[in-house]
Amino acid sequence: MNNEVKLQIIDLYNNSKYTVQDIANKFNVCKCTVYNLTKKFRNKDSNRSQVVRDNVFKDLSNQDVQYWLGFLSADGSIFGDRIALSLKKDDEKILIKFKEFLGNVNIIYGIYKKFGKEYPYCRVAFRNKKIVEFLRELGITNNKSFSIKVNFPITNHFLRGLIDGDGSIYCGKRNCVRIFSASKDFVKQISDLLQENNIENHVYLRNNKKVLYDIQVNKNSEVKKIIDFLYNNANTFLQRKYYNATQIRNNLMKHLKFRELA
């Protein structure tokens, strides 16, 4: 049983419409498996039925909406009438912002076990059929990893959410901003957005176990451009990636000043 199936079982248990027997039948497992999973992962104090009643994503001109659409495009899970976002415990602060954005939801805390090690995580999951349908109309579906192609204007806020969800801002000897996707159409949309904002980027095809596209901005002058683009007028961001971006920009500015003095 893979981890996504385990999380789906936990989410369905938190939805009071489903009995343990219903869930066991749905996933072809015994009832004790459902009990064990929910005991290990579920926050016992959480509400079993979390519902977001309004479509908080409908105002596409809102920068927080754009940001969270980007984050969900990268790291969200959509199945049935449910939407979930799971992050490691260290990134709890950004999930608290997501909770505040949504309104009437709780954060679920748990432990993810892999190869004998324990990894604390936090998770927000909620039900809203209209939101799921709305996201589908935007191009964000349950199999988005391979098929995503959004049909709304992509902004710097969307891109920042996308990178916070499943990209990287690397600060080191070779500064680099990277975005990953298995969807060729989506990669073109992102690359075109960068080109339109005069940011040079390169797309690499990684083909190991599965096809994966890797968009890279790795020239210092272009890295500075994308950092300025990402954080222009930004009020929501993942703190650790913002810290790396700030370090890179400060170092680049010092380097430029040194060159001017020389």
Q: Which DSSP letter does residue 175 get?
A: -
Quick: pLDDT tens for 26-84: 888 887 788 788 775 554 444 444 778 789 999 999 999 999 999 999 999 888 888 99
Query: Which residue is associated with the tokens 């579920």?
Result: 42
Quick: pLDDT tens for 181-199: 999 999 999 999 999 999 9
Quick: pLDDT tens for 233-259: 999 999 999 999 999 999 888 765 544
Helix (H) or strand (E) holding 166: helix 156-166
Q: Domain locations in the chain? A: 3-141, 156-261
Domain 3-141 has CATH 3.30.460: no
Determine the pLDDT at residue 261.
36
Q: What are phi and psi of 78, to 5 degrees?
A: -125, 125
| Helix (H), strand (E) counts: the chain | 11, 8
CA distance 251 to 48: 48
Whether 3-141 and 156-261 share one fold: the answer is yes
Average pLDDT, the chain: 86
Reference 231, options 165, 164, 178; nearest CA is 164
CA distance 199 to 147: 25
Domain 156-261 maps to which CATH number in 3.40.50.300, 3.40.50.620, 3.20.20.140, 3.10.28.10? 3.10.28.10
- CA 76 distance to own-chain centroid: 5
